[in-house]
Structure 1
Amino acid sequence: MDLSYILNELGEERDQYFNAIAPPIIQTSNFMFPSVAAMRADLPFEYERHFYTRGNNPTVAILRKKLAALEGTEDALVLASGSAAIAAAVLANVQQGDHIVCVQKPYSWTLRLMRDYLPRFGVTTTFVNGTDIANFEAAIRPETRLIYLESPNTFTFELQDIRAVAELAKSRNIVTMIDNSHCTPLFQRPIELGVDIVMHSGSKYLGGHSDAIAGVICGTTAMMKRIFSGEYMTLGAIISPQNAWLLLRGLRTLQLRVQRSDDSARQVVAFLEQHPTVRRIYFPLADSHPQIELARRQMTGCGGLITLSLNTDQVATVDTFADGLKRFLLGVSWGGHESLVFPASIGYDPTTPPADENYNLIRLYVGLEDPAVLIDDLRQSLDAL
């Protein structure tokens, strides 16, 4: 199934909605039945039939088909946020007394789920340096039920050898899950490398317009039904038909947008590597990245995320650099049309000497603007330091 067909045709039965090019937003909470017998017959099949929008909705169903095809899985579920998708998939695979192995420094809400929330219910987590497969093997216990990956890792973009971890997990009958938001299905194929569950923050590249919040879980039909009948329906963190439609719109240009960000980011990296005020660049496909060979094996592109550190020991200098940017908007998230800057210094007091070096991490997201304009903006703010 080719990419163009998935993005523009798959799941779109236009003859069922007046031959409209764009699918409709089926903005309904409920669906009617012609008889009690028909209602009774559909009730056990809410996973695939339209009973109540909290479970299934025609607009959401089109999106599910496309997302599953993009990741090469049998099915997908779409939730109200990325954190909801992470929580639902994790909770579906653990119970009291179980153990999780997770990479160090995951997305903040993944960390909170595993460090602060799950221990209340008897589920423990070991966080490991994911750059060495031996660390995963050493952390596995008899009660380990899930290995959670995030490759590239948040902010500093460490990689895990996805195939090696998946093979290790399968040999121990452990479920694997990965956050693939950084690379998208276009630049990294975790299912082909042996992973069981792939999740995305749909608010990032999949939506692409900074106007919708969503989370995605992709996997086998059996796994999706398991999550659907449990955490998805019970906790109710569903996506609205309106937001599902916004993601459908965003997918039309996914390939163009992600490739544009990737191409522009490489130009930005080349500039930053030569500037004397920049101490270090974090970009998985930069020649200076310590895992460049692994990145080339399991990634075909990188997208628009770059992290840098400056030649400074002052929190205030990091603040000054971020404040000096005019074309990079100061904000969280990434994956939309706009370029962004997010300095780790927001968590530090600029009047107090920092206790660690993390204050100096500055994450850039390179959006769809002209890269020359973005480079000029970076140059003027760096030169001003």
Structure 2
Amino acid sequence: MDLSYILNELGEERAQYFNAVAPPIVQSSNFAFDTVADLRRAFADEMGGYLYSRGLNPTIDILRKKLAALDEAEDALVFANGAAAIFAGVLPFVKAGDHIISVQQPYSWAQRTFDGILTRYGIETTYIAGTEIGQFEAALRPNTTFIYLESPNSWNFAVQPLAEVAALAKPRGIVTLIDNSYCSPLHQRPHELGIDLCMQTATKYIGGHSDTLGGVLTGSHTHIRRIFELDYLAIGSGVSPFNAWLLLRGLRTLPQRLAHVSRSAQEVIAFLKGHPKVGGLLYPLDPSFPQYELARRQMTGAGGLLTFLLKDGTCARITTFCESLKHFLMAVSWGGHESLVLPKCAGIDPAAFDARNPEHQYIRLYTGLEDPGYLIRDLEQALEKV
């Protein structure tokens, strides 16, 4: 399906709403019925129409259709945020006594789900590096029912061999879910490689303006219906019509924004690699990246997120650098119009900081929609102060 058609036309029945170019926000909690028979059918199959906006809603449905098509999936659900999408994507496919395999250091709310909630029900999680298929094979147990992936992750950008993981999981009836937030559907298509469920935080590239939250799950009709009919409705974590409308607005310019931040990242990378105070850099499509060949096979782009290290990266030097930046905002997340910096040491007790540990020295940059020369000049003046 053509990308331009998905972003600008798919799901938009303009004749139904006065030929308005932008779809309306159907800001209604409730929907009325003309007959008892119609109401009965809605009770029997809430996914087949509109009953109550805790479930489906016309504005949200336009977004669902576009996001499913972008992932080349059969169906999609949209959540209030990425953490909610992860929780709802895992919960329906595990039960008491099951075993999960997850990549090491996943997104914090995924790990809290595994360690803080599912352990209450006797569900155990094994964390592995996940960079080679043998690590998954070694972690398998007879009661393994779920594999959680994050490829690439959002700090060191470790990549998993997705097609091999899917080939390992499917014959065993193990459900696979990937957090594809780093790439978005434009730079990686996990369903094509056999992954069952694909999640992304729509807060980031899909929204693109740092003014709304959202989470997406795509997959087969069977998997999405299983999530919808109990967990999605019971938890009540669906996106609001207004936030869905903001995400639709963001989708219109997704290709242009992603192309810009990707080009800017390349210019920033070239600058950093040539700077004498920079001690290392991580970016999955840079030839220096340890898993470059695998990343190149699975991904068509790598967006605006990168990590670098200072030479002699003490906590004090990292702090000086980050606080000297004038145009990179110090904040979490990425994917918006603004450029960001996030030092790993901000999440580490200063007394526990270990300058010998490269991870403690990570400085994550996101290149936004500003001119790359403007960003490079800011990086240069901040590096001078280190």
List alignment gaps of at least 5 residues for structure 2: none
CA contact (8 A) 1:348 1:354 kept: no
| 2:106 partner amino acid | P
| Counterparts of 2:364 and 2:352, CA distance in 1 | 22
Question: 1:259: Cα distance to partner?
Answer: 1.0
Per-residue CA deviations over 1:132-161 (Å, capped at 9, x if unaligned) read 110000001110001111000231101111
| 2:368 partner amino acid | G
Partner of 1:368: 369
List alignment gaps of at least 5 residues for structure 1: none
Question: 1:188: Cα distance to partner?
Answer: 0.4
User: SS of the counterpart of 1:109?
Assistant: helix
| Counterparts of 2:340 and 2:120, CA distance in 1 | 36
Partner of 1:384: 385
Q: Which moved more, 1:59-68 or 1:313-322?
A: 313-322
User: SS of the counterpart of 1:115?
Assistant: helix
Question: 1:49: Cα distance to partner?
Answer: 0.4
Question: 1:353: Cα distance to partner?
Answer: 5.3
Question: 1:359: Cα distance to partner?
Answer: 2.5
| Counterparts of 1:351 and 1:316, CA distance in 2 | 12
| Counterparts of 1:154 and 1:384, CA distance in 2 | 27
Partner of 2:133: 133
| Counterparts of 2:257 and 2:353, CA distance in 1 | 40
CA contact (8 A) 2:7 2:252 kept: yes
Query: After superposition, where does 1:306-317 map in structure 2 within 5 Å?
Result: 306-317=306-317
Question: 1:36: Cα distance to partner?
Answer: 2.0
Across the two proteins, how many residue pairs are aligned to each other?
Answer: 385
Question: 1:121: Cα distance to partner?
Answer: 1.1
User: SS of the counterpart of 2:177?
Assistant: strand
State the TM-score, normalized to the length of structure 2: 0.98
| Counterparts of 2:68 and 2:351, CA distance in 1 | 49
Question: 1:37: Cα distance to partner?
Answer: 2.4
Per-residue CA deviations over 1:104-151 (Å, capped at 9, x if unaligned) read 111111111112221111111000011111000000111000111100
Partner of 1:320: 320
Partner of 2:248: 248
Percent identity between matched residues is 56
1:159 matched to 2:154: no
| Counterparts of 2:224 and 2:351, CA distance in 1 | 50
Q: CA RMSD in A?
A: 1.2
Partner of 1:258: 258
CA contact (8 A) 2:60 2:244 kept: yes
State the TM-score, normalized to the length of structure 1: 0.98
CA contact (8 A) 2:42 2:49 kept: yes
Partner of 1:86: 86
Question: 1:374: Cα distance to partner?
Answer: 0.5
| 1:143 partner amino acid | N
| Counterparts of 1:242 and 1:353, CA distance in 2 | 43
Partner of 2:63: 63
Per-residue CA deviations over 1:292-322 (Å, capped at 9, x if unaligned) read 1111101110000001111124211111111
| 2:377 partner amino acid | D
| Counterparts of 2:31 and 2:116, CA distance in 1 | 39
User: SS of the counterpart of 2:218?
Assistant: strand
| Counterparts of 2:266 and 2:358, CA distance in 1 | 25
Query: After superposition, where does 1:34-49 map in structure 2 within 5 Å?
Result: 34-49=34-49
